[in-house]
């Protein structure tokens, strides 16, 4: 079952974002980032109440800045999505979910140890350089469905 509705252009946009944010972490690292994107589209809580599509997620502005560094700095557009990233994005959109990004709504690269919380949300785990954070169950039940 598809996790979120999408078009071919959504796949390409998400693939570019995954590559820009996590190419150095390999296919699994890109899948982890892609999972956070999909989780934000399905979450109906916190900062993601009015975010329902892949472009909504990728171009969301929070606190006056784009949510993702790749959009802020523009490097999401430097490279076209390759077929490998498109396949990974489609996997995320259709079914893929794994720990530590399984229920995560946030990730970042702290260039050091992962803090125990991020915006008051608990640390879920780390994959290579990225730390993943999922919401507390009582604050965002929709992401756990």
pLDDT tens over the chain, length 145 residues: 789 999 999 999 999 999 999 999 999 999 999 999 999 999 999 999 999 999 999 999 998 999 998 998 887 777 888 999 999 999 999 999 999 999 999 999 998 999 999 989 999 999 999 999 999 988 999 999 8
* pTM (predicted TM-score): 0.95
DSSP 68: S
- Rounded CA-CA distance 58/143 in Å is 17
- What's the DSSP call for residue 138? G
C-alpha–C-alpha distance, residues 4 and 23, integer Å: 23
> What Å distances lie between residue 7 and 4, 19, 90, 111, CA to CA?
10, 18, 10, 35
């Amino acid at each position: 079952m598809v996790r979120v509705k999408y078009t071919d252009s959504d796949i390409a946009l998400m693939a570019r974002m995954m590559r820009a944010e996590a190419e150095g972490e390999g296919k699994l690292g890109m899948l982890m980032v892609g999972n956070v994107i999909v989780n934000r589209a399905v979450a109906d809580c916190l900062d993601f109440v009015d975010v329902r599509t892949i472009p909504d997620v990728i171009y969301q502005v929070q606190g006056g800045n784009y949510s993702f560094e790749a959009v802020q700095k523009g490097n999401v557009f430097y490279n076209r999505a390759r077929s490998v990233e498109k396949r990974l994005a489609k996997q995320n959109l259709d079914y893929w979910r794994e720990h530590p990004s399984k229920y995560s709504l946030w990730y970042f690269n702290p260039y050091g140890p992962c803090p125990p919380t991020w915006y008051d949300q608990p640390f879920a785990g780390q994959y290579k350089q990225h730390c993943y954070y999922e919401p507390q169950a009582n604050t965002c039940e929709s992401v756990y469905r």
